[in-house]
Amino acid sequence: MIEDLIPILATTLAAATPLIFAGLGELVTEKSGVINLGVEGMMLVGAIAGFAAALQWGVAGGILAGALAGALVALPFCFLTLSLGANQPATGLALTISGIGLSAFIGQFYVSQSLPGLQPYAIPLLASIPLIGPVFFAQSAVVYLSYVAFVLVAWMLARTRWGLILRAVGESPEAAHAIGYSVIGIRYAATCFGGAMAGIAGAYLSTVYTPLWVQNMTAGRGWIAVALVVFATWKPSRLMLGAYLFGGMTILQLHAQGLGVELPSQLLAAVPYVATILVLVLISRDRKVLRLNLPASLGKPYISGG
Amino acid sequence: MPPQMKRKDYLRWRRLLDFRPFEESCFLCYMSVPAHSSDLPPRLALWHVTKRYPGVVANNDVSLTVKPGEIHAVLGENGAGKSTLMKIIYGAVHADEGHLVWNGQTVHIANPSAARQLGIGMVFQHFQLFETLSVVENIALALEGAFDLKHLAERVSEVSARYGLPLDPQRLVHSLSVGERQRVEIVRCLLQNPQLLILDEPTSVLTPQAVRALFGTLRQLASEGVSILYISHKLHEIQALCDRATVMRDGRVTGEADPRQETAASLASMMIGRELPVCSAPPYHGESSAVLEVRGLDYHNEDPFGASLHGVDLVVNRGEVVGIAGISGNGQAELLAALSGEQLSAPGCVLIGGEPVGHLHAGKRRDKGLAFVPEERLGRGAVPAMTLAQNFLLTSHRKPALRRHGLISRTRAREFAAHCIERFDVRCNGVLSAARSLSGGNLQKFIVGREVLQEPKVMIVAQPTWGVDVGASAFLRQTLLDIARSGVGVLVISEELEELFEICDRIAVLAGGHLSMPVARALTDAEQIGLLMAGPQQQAA
Amino acid sequence: MQLLEPRANPSKLMRWAAPPLAIMLTLLAAAAIFVLLGKPPLQAFHVFFIEPLQDANGWSELLLKASPLILIAQGLALGFRARIYNIGAEGQFLMGAICASGVAIYTDGMTSAWILPAMVVAGAIGGGLWGALPAWLKTHYNAEETLTTLMLTYVASYLLSWLVGGPWRDPGGTNFPQSILFSEPAMFAPLFEGLRVNSSVFITVIAVPLFWLFVSKSFMAYQLAVGGEAPAAARYAGFSARRTVWVSLIVSGVTAGIAGASEAAGPVGQLTLSLSPGYGFAAIIVAWVGRLHPIGIVLSGLLLALIYIGGDAAQVSMQLPSAISWLFQGMLLFFLLGADAFVDFRLKRRRAKPRLKDHVNDEEGRA
């Protein structure tokens, strides 16, 4: 029985990977006090850029191009919200809409093409651990990259001066400015990092997960990633947990009919979105937890005097 | 640059001077800069500094000299340009004209971290701290060098013990009292080995006893050769502490003096250009007809950063002004919310004119005759981007002339607002100017005026003259006294003891969520109120 | 890096100049894209903005598309004033269409004058409920309405795909996922013979002045605006934050629902998967570009409708992908938000450089 679960769990990990990248990126962005609702758009641009680049330079080139493209399209968002103090939710939405348009526009040239994808690589020794090995360590290289990203982000936030500065700017940009930090510069960096991570998430989708380009192929994953950050109460480890949970949900609804669930497939497909709402409700109702973890300046424009 | 030195070596030498470790610099302080030495160049000299903002010259041709080891006051009322001048010294703002000389050398201070590297530290009036971070993390953010919180925590303990500023490095800042937060700011500066320490209105949040302790620390620092720039508008403090004073008015220097040789009156006339205005009111005869009663009000705050209230009892009578002293963060915000109706309670906990209103929200309580002037003028007392006419509607929409069948009359709102502006001497460009374009004093006059025009039974005012210039302060205090004597019960919550002693008939203290018994003004003094403000824990410690 | 400083008073000029400025910048950017694609920009603009309006059919299409955009945007603008960001109007639109279609499908074959009004009411209820759900989640569980409204959009679209693929699939049709074609009593009558524009535009024509009256005169709208500008001031004044949420989300849900019903009972005439050309999202842009003002929204709704039609025309005659209209919409919103910054802020004046000499530079000069 447990052996039967292994492929399901392994595919769960693969399905969770884009959420991890996009979620970690948005988590860092939000820690600096910026809420970027453009994740979906940045993912799509990353997906098409990654796909186009992967045709030329393989998956590694695709992932890199996705990161670059994601960071690049985050720049206009940064300029508007940080340099001009524009409304963050609205600008994020504009980014998503533009991202959908831009990716579809470029994507028309790539509709019928396909990529070979990426073969899983079993890490010697680790992959032979029972259960854990085949689930976690017989994956594609990009999945391993998500582990690395998690460790790096968690370590950076908790242990380094960089992380401390990021948290400080997110909590009180005024105080950070007063003691001499460039609030705007730090927020630019954090937001572009978020863009790059969303770009990687998109590129993973189009070059590894389903190695082809389909218009709107992210199907709301960018929004789910934003919701996951709230669910995670801005903690990387909880974000991982949430991402795997959602990955599991996506995979289970594919297997549901095989498991004897008598629901139409269209309704099962809606399950992850309903689950996102439920998760948001469960977390948000506890205002105390939110208050303790929410970056205090989140979403508020900051314009320094002087 | 010494002539025989190579340029590369010179730069390295300079860098060494700027980044020397803590112990070494103390050694330098003791050895080479004896306190009050007159043959050394001044620690800091400002020459003809001018800073213009759109529509206003914040600093106009300001010159100032601070000697090593000197405690130098910059005296001036709100809006005189003190804060801008300090921001220029600290590198947060750049001067349009003039220059700074630091230990004999002309310098350009690009930003606060450059200022810190020179040896300039600043304790902000509004603490620049991060509530969700620990003390040591807060301090680490302002320091250069290796990122080692453990080692830094030890240094924090060392320095805080040496200067009598007890602090636990691991505590989160939001759990600290205001006095402790100020210690964090001071220790943060001291760890940077300052040669000049700037303190901006440091005593506005301290009890009289805590002020004395702070002065002890500052004198100790001065005796070690640290120069201190002390910004204040409180004359007696400056006379007690400072060696010299530079007085500013409207962005200009209006005088320099030895404060100990001057009288309060002579300093005041330099500061505001005339005698200090005083309020006057007919005596209160102790009419005992309660218009506002609070009975056993408990409030448990869910917000981990907030305070709770414990069994608050209070009566405000017709015609009197009751003051609540205490340092913000001791339940002031919570008490105000419970009184105004932004936070609900059991019906019998709050009574207006004998009627239980604890369960009614803010709008319903206004119907019963409550008026309220909050501490935050922009964003709470007024909507910053809206016009004065629109802001007038905020609390006076219940007048039938202004609202009928769910529709509002803009013309009438403008007329009413214009009346308010005229009667309360609000200086602005008419009823269509945005609330945020008004100065603090004028906006406060508008809000107080709007609330007075509701013809309330009870008027609650928080920090009535915070950040307001002397003229407007006197006007506001007189207004409060006048409406009280006309039969309104007035409750004033303020951090300024002098203000409370000027206008209140009875004074109580809110500390740690407990409200003390109100005492008649004649039967108490600042010392006694100060002890109560410190709260039971601090008194024991 | 900070370019701006606050203005004392918001600039009236910029408030009205921002949308035309944003439109001009979008046109410039569009021209650049056309050049990159090797299409002459003037010809492209001609195809986009002039050709569609050269015949009656073009104007009919313009009204047909502008009407739902304007209607939805009126509702959204109300919430946006209160900073309640309903970005799921698309879902509310679909639910409106679904509920209205339900009425049409179950009354098929009957002839009653009440069918069409019943459909509109059903659409309003469907959209309203789909808006009320996030309002309930926000007021009772503090859940962000941006995320819940958007998630509900996905739920609505899967619900639609289940209905048209299963219970409501046209039994007489091919296997396409679509319902039966509605009969005449379940359709809005065309205004002119041979043109698609139908009587549902009157709903919008009536709604606009009502919204204008509400926004400019009502105390409720004032409360919403205070709640959006300064939530603490709203609490201080005793305005209910919960009511703000409920009103904003239900009103925008109802308008989107009615628009959805009109779409199903109008140009589409049945329930299909591809019922909505993304009106729910485009209406967000309409609301913003229209300054959240009822009259401004009419103008911006017409503009966005033109971009839609122009995009279709460009697809046919210039082989441009239809996605390009999404791109233009996004850019328009971007430029508008940028121009908007100058309502409350202005560029930092360049001041005389401080005449201070850095001592190190000084030393370098001599060395």
Which CATH number do you get for residue B130?
A: 3.40.50.300
Consecutive 10-residue runs of chain A (306 residues): their mean pLDDT? 78 93 97 96 96 92 96 96 90 93 89 82 83 83 94 94 94 89 94 97 94 90 94 93 90 78 84 90 84 85 67
Residue C7's pLDDT band (cuts 50, 70, 90): confident
Q: Which residue, among B109, B117, B141, would best test binding to A if mutated, counting the most A CBs under 10 Å from its CB? A: B141
For residues B425 and B472, membership in a common domain is answered with no
* Token digits of residue A133: 């090995």
Q: Is residue B172 situated within a structural domain?
A: yes
Name the strand (E) or helix (H) holding B365.
helix B362-367
Report yes or no: A233 and A298 within 8 Å, Cβ to Cβ.
Answer: no
Q: Of the candidates B272, B297, B319, which is a domain's last residue?
A: B272
Ordered structural domains, chain A, with CATH: 2-293 (1.10.3470)
3-state DSSP: chain C helix, strand, coil percent, rounded to 5? 70, 5, 25
Q: Is residue C28 situated within a structural domain?
A: no
For residues B447 and B464, membership in a common domain is answered with no
The pLDDT of residue C5 is above 80: no
The pLDDT of residue C237 is above 80: yes
Task: Give the model's pLDDT for residue B286.
Answer: 67
Note whether B407 contacts C355, CB cutoff 8 Å.
no
Note whether B112 contacts A179, CB cutoff 8 Å.
yes
Which chains have 3 or more CB–CB distances shorter than 8 Å to chain C? A, B
Selected residue with higher pLDDT from B304 and C39: C39
Task: Give the model's pLDDT for residue B536.
Answer: 59
How far apart (Å, rounded) are the C-alpha atoms in residues B232 and B229? 10
Chain C residues in contact with B108 by the CB 8 A cut-off are 354, 356-359
CA-nearest residue to A80 within chain C is C338
Residue range of the domain that includes B393: 376-455
For residues B215 and B310, membership in a common domain is answered with no
Which chains have 3 or more CB–CB distances shorter than 8 Å to chain B? A, C
Task: Give the model's pLDDT for residue C67.
Answer: 96
Distance from CA of A84 to the nearest CA of C (A): 6
pLDDT > 70 in chain C, percent: 94
For residues B133 and B233, membership in a common domain is answered with yes
Strands (E), chain A: 121-122, 138-139
Note whether C236 contacts B394, CB cutoff 8 Å.
yes
Note whether C162 contacts A89, CB cutoff 8 Å.
no
Q: Is residue C131 situated within a structural domain?
A: yes
pLDDT in tens, A3-34: 778 888 888 999 999 999 999 999 999 999 99
Note whether B140 contacts A165, CB cutoff 8 Å.
no
CA proximity to B529, closest of B499, B489, B490, B491: B499
Of A79, A96, A98, the CB nearest to C327: A98
Q: Is residue B96 situated within a structural domain?
A: no
Calculate mean pLDDT across residues C173-197.
Answer: 86
Selected residue with higher pLDDT from B94 and C68: C68
For residues B161 and B196, membership in a common domain is answered with yes
Q: Is C325 helix (H, G, I), strand (E, B) or coil?
A: helix
For residues B299 and B249, membership in a common domain is answered with no
- Cα–Cα distances (Å) from B135 to A251, B139, B152, B213, in that order, read 46, 6, 10, 21
Burial C212-230, CB ≥16 within 10 A → b, else e? bebbebbbbbbbbbbbbbb
Chain B residues in contact with A287 by the CB 8 A cut-off are 302
Neighbouring CB atoms inside 10 A of C180's CB total 18
Helix count (H) and strand count (E) of chain B? 18, 23
Q: Is residue C184 situated within a structural domain?
A: yes
Q: Is residue C66 situated within a structural domain?
A: yes
Q: Is B79 helix (H, G, I), strand (E, B) or coil?
A: coil
Chain C residues in contact with B14 by the CB 8 A cut-off are 360
CA-nearest residue to C134 within chain A is A277
Task: Give the model's pLDDT for residue C108.
Answer: 87
For residues B308 and B268, membership in a common domain is answered with no
DSSP-derived pairing of the beta strands B370-373 and B458-462 = parallel
CA-nearest residue to C328 within chain A is A98
Q: Of the candidates B455, B478, B504, which is a domain's last residue?
A: B455
Q: Is residue B46 situated within a structural domain?
A: no
Q: Is residue C349 situated within a structural domain?
A: no
Chain C residues in contact with B98 by the CB 8 A cut-off are 355
Q: Is residue C128 situated within a structural domain?
A: yes
What's the whole-number average pLDDT of chain C?
88
Residue range of the domain that includes C177: 7-23+56-342
First to last CA, chain C: 32
B523-529 contacts, C-beta under 8 A, 24 or more apart: B526/B208, B526/B497, B526/B498, B526/B501, B527/B208, B529/B325, B529/B497, B529/B500
Number of independent structural domains in chain C? 1
Report yes or no: A169 and A181 within 8 Å, Cβ to Cβ.
Answer: yes
A147: contact with C, CB 8 A cutoff? no
Question: Mind listing the pLDDT tens digit of every residue in chain B (541 residues)?
Answer: 444 445 445 444 444 333 333 333 333 333 334 444 456 788 999 999 999 877 778 899 999 999 999 999 998 887 788 888 998 999 888 899 998 999 988 999 988 888 988 999 999 888 889 988 999 999 999 887 778 888 999 999 998 888 888 889 999 998 888 888 889 999 999 998 899 999 988 887 788 888 888 999 999 999 999 999 999 888 888 888 999 999 998 889 988 889 888 887 888 888 887 777 777 777 777 667 899 999 999 998 887 778 899 999 999 999 999 999 988 888 999 999 999 999 999 999 999 999 999 999 999 999 999 999 999 999 999 999 899 999 999 998 888 888 888 888 889 999 999 999 999 999 888 899 889 888 888 999 999 999 999 999 999 999 998 878 888 888 999 999 999 999 999 999 998 888 899 999 999 999 989 999 999 988 888 888 888 887 755 443 3
Q: Which residue, among A179, A183, A290, A303, would best test binding to B if mutated, counting the most B CBs under 10 Å from its CB? A: A179
Of B96, B366, B376, the CB nearest to C351: B96
Number of independent structural domains in chain B? 3
Task: Give the model's pLDDT for residue C349.
Answer: 61
B354-359 contacts, C-beta under 8 A, 24 or more apart: B354/B290, B354/B293, B358/B297
Q: Is residue C35 situated within a structural domain?
A: no
For residues B140 and B117, membership in a common domain is answered with yes
Burial B428-462, CB ≥16 within 10 A → b, else e? beebebbbbbbbbbbbbbbbbbbbbbbebbbbbbb
pLDDT in tens, C104-148: 999 988 888 899 999 999 999 999 999 999 999 999 999 989 999
Report yes or no: C74 and C208 within 8 Å, Cβ to Cβ.
Answer: yes
Note whether C143 contacts A83, CB cutoff 8 Å.
no
Note whether A288 contacts B304, CB cutoff 8 Å.
yes
Distance from CA of B264 to the nearest CA of C (A): 36
Note whether A101 contacts C323, CB cutoff 8 Å.
yes
Q: Is residue C31 situated within a structural domain?
A: no
Strands (E), B233-379: 244-249, 252-257, 290-299, 309-317, 321-325, 350-352, 355-356, 370-373
Q: Is residue B85 situated within a structural domain?
A: no
A95: contact with C, CB 8 A cutoff? yes
Q: Of the candidates B455, B489, B506, which is a domain's last residue?
A: B455
Note whether C238 contacts B52, CB cutoff 8 Å.
no
Calculate mean pLDDT across residues C75-97.
Answer: 95
Task: Give the model's pLDDT for residue C358.
Answer: 37
Note whether B361 contacts C238, CB cutoff 8 Å.
yes
C5: contact with A, CB 8 A cutoff? yes
For residues B201 and B252, membership in a common domain is answered with yes
Task: Give the model's pLDDT for residue B3.
Answer: 45
Q: Is B248 helix (H, G, I), strand (E, B) or coil?
A: strand
Q: What is the DSSP letter of A28?
A: H
Chain A residues in contact with C341 by the CB 8 A cut-off are 80, 84-86
For residues B428 and B461, membership in a common domain is answered with no
Cα Dmax for chain B: 88
Which residues 187-216 of C are in CB contact (within 8 Å) with A? none
Report yes or no: C49 and C310 within 8 Å, Cβ to Cβ.
Answer: yes
Chain B residues in contact with A181 by the CB 8 A cut-off are 141
Distance from CA of C51 to the nearest CA of A (A): 23
For residues B342 and B442, membership in a common domain is answered with no
Which CATH number do you get for residue C262?
A: 1.10.3470
Give the residues across from B56 on adjacent strands.
B53
How far apart (Å, rounded) are the C-alpha atoms in residues B457 and B476? 18
Distance from CA of A124 to the nearest CA of C (A): 41
CA-nearest residue to B109 within chain A is A180
Note whether B383 contacts C230, CB cutoff 8 Å.
yes
Q: Which residue, among A30, A75, A82, A93, would best test binding to C if mutated, counting the most C CBs under 10 Å from its CB? A: A93
Q: Is residue B195 situated within a structural domain?
A: yes
